[in-house]
Amino acid sequence: MNLDVNTLFLVTIYVEAILGLLLLFAWAQNTAISAVAWWGFADLLRAASVMLFGRYGSASDLVSIDLANVLLFTSFAVTWTGARVFDHHRPQPVLLFGGAALWLIACRIPGFAQAYDVRVLMSSAIITTYTWATAYEFWRGRSEPLVSRWPAIFMLFAHGALYLLRTPLGAMLPWSPTNNQMFASVWLTVLSFEGLLFTIAIAFILLAMAKERTEHRHKTAALVDPLTGVANRRAFLQDGEAHLKRQAADPRPTAVMLLDLDNFKSINDRFGHALGDRVLEIFADVASASMRHVDLFGRLGGEEFAALLRDTTRERAQAVAEQIRADFAAATKEVQGQPVVATVSIGIVISHDAVLDLSALLAQADHALYRAKDSGRNRVEIASIELILDRAKRSAAELMAAVKSPAKSPTKTAA
């Protein structure tokens, strides 16, 4: 089979239609990611436009060129809209049909149909604009760690650049738009073949992005507290232990905090559990805002939270804790119209090396937290790791001395 444009057009129609149906089927299996449906409809529109292009010479230019271009432009606009929806932005109906409307208006201008280079340049510019806009949507959503974004961005940018170069390259290659000889054009053959490969590749990349997002959400859901949006107990302990292991090679001061809301049960009893949940959300927001992105913060359960501040001195840890305590009290003076005035007690321990694991550090922070509660609540207390280690060493020494000391024989008494 010769690789001519007629063959490519026929193959492209089948491929676009199959990929469109495949994307719609994938969306039906997981309707949570509606962008996949947009991308499926875009492929079906492209299949229809290529089918109309293939009728050039046997159908009127109104159908084989103008209407075909309208469907083609709309398909790229739908792909762009799908990218917007994928990253939680609203569709823009005016821009969605803007390219098609611009083409139809230009077609009404006298002489536009005969200005072949102008028509090619305009159609290429419209397609490039939508394609690069799609790449931009994926680019600005790059904060979400999806590896599939990067090949999608690269392919979309390259595909748009190729369309933009369509006019200058076309002028360098043999071309005759008359007598139905456009299908003999080398450039159209190259463009059609590239478009076919791009369609196949980008469809599978978009499917990979949707699958990757689903897996990422499932993984994140297992490590995030659903109410407050911060790390749950499992994630905090896992990340905290990993940090302390890395710290063994390069010891730096690390602060571990335990933060417990004061009299939280009474808040639930007085104002209801819905307002109590809102107080927990406010506290998570306040505490997160007081920390750096390198620090760890999570909810251990109930009204108890924990934090691990990396490379942090005793003074800075106390300053952060005091800021959290003051900001939380201020933020809860009134919650949903109720005078809550919630407070928090905080226990801190500072570790200068990796002698103790996270569980031991949390236990010592808990002792400091108990002192804060016992001293009237709404306080910050710091446990001295040096005193803790010294106490542990003394206890060990006393135990060893007791083991080494000779046991006294029992005294016999006369009957």
Residue 358 is part of a domain; what is its CATH number?
Answer: 3.30.70.270
Amino acid making up residue 272: G
Which range among 64-68, 155-159, 206-210, 281-285 shows the weakest confidence by mean pLDDT? 64-68
| Angstrom distance (rounded) from CA 81 to CA 90 | 8
* Residue 397: per-residue pLDDT: 55
| In the predicted structure, residue 408 carries a pLDDT above the cut 80 | no
Q: Is residue 227 part of a domain?
A: no
Query: Of the residues 200, 221, 242, which one is the last residue of a structural domain?
Result: 221
| Joined tokens for residue 37 | 């449906």
- Please tell me whether residues 193 and 256 are part of one structural domain: no
Query: Of the residues 196, 221, 246, which one is the last residue of a structural domain?
Result: 221
Secondary structure element (H or E) that encloses residue 317, with its range: helix 314-331
Q: Is residue 150 part of a domain?
A: yes
Q: Is residue 209 part of a domain?
A: yes
| Angstrom distance (rounded) from CA 266 to CA 272 | 9
Q: Roughly what angle, to the nearest 10 degrees, separates helices 233-247 and 358-374? A: 120
Average pLDDT, the chain: 85
Q: Is residue 166 part of a domain?
A: yes
Number of domains in the chain: 2
Q: How confident is the model at residue 246 (pLDDT cuts 50, 70, 90)?
A: confident
- Please tell me whether residues 290 and 199 are part of one structural domain: no
Q: How confident is the model at residue 388 (pLDDT cuts 50, 70, 90)?
A: low
**What range does the domain containing 47 cover?**
5-221
Q: Is residue 412 part of a domain?
A: no
Largest CA distance in the chain: 135
- Please tell me whether residues 245 and 206 are part of one structural domain: no
Q: Is residue 393 part of a domain?
A: no
- Please tell me whether residues 170 and 247 are part of one structural domain: no
- Please tell me whether residues 108 and 257 are part of one structural domain: no
Q: Up-side HSE of residue 330: CA atoms within 13 Å toward CB?
A: 9
Per-residue pLDDT averaged across 159-184, rounded?
60
The 8-class DSSP code of residue 118 comes to H
Dihedral, CA of residue 281, residue 287, residue 290 and residue 292, to nearest 10:
-100
- Please tell me whether residues 107 and 243 are part of one structural domain: no
| Joined tokens for residue 173 | 């290659």
- Please tell me whether residues 255 and 191 are part of one structural domain: no
- Please tell me whether residues 67 and 164 are part of one structural domain: yes
| In the predicted structure, residue 121 carries a pLDDT above the cut 90 | no
- Please tell me whether residues 82 and 167 are part of one structural domain: yes
- Please tell me whether residues 16 and 156 are part of one structural domain: yes
| Joined tokens for residue 369 | 């937290």
* Residue 1: per-residue pLDDT: 43
Query: Of the residues 221, 246, 266, which one is the last residue of a structural domain?
Result: 221
| In the predicted structure, residue 410 carries a pLDDT above the cut 70 | no
- Please tell me whether residues 245 and 344 are part of one structural domain: yes
| Joined tokens for residue 117 | 């280079």
| Angstrom distance (rounded) from CA 8 to CA 372 | 76
| Joined tokens for residue 87 | 């990253």
Per-residue pLDDT averaged across 299-303, rounded?
94
Q: How confident is the model at residue 176 (pLDDT cuts 50, 70, 90)?
A: very low
Residue 101 is part of a domain; what is its CATH number?
Answer: 1.20.1070
Q: Is residue 317 part of a domain?
A: yes
Name 299's bridge partners: 305
Q: Is residue 228 part of a domain?
A: no
- Please tell me whether residues 210 and 312 are part of one structural domain: no
Percent of residues, the chain, with pLDDT higher than 70: 84
Query: Is the overall model pTM greater than 0.75, yes or no?
Result: no
| Three-class SS state of 308 | strand
Secondary structure element (H or E) that encloses residue 364, with its range: helix 358-374
Which range among 66-75, 320-329, 376-385 shows the weakest confidence by mean pLDDT? 376-385
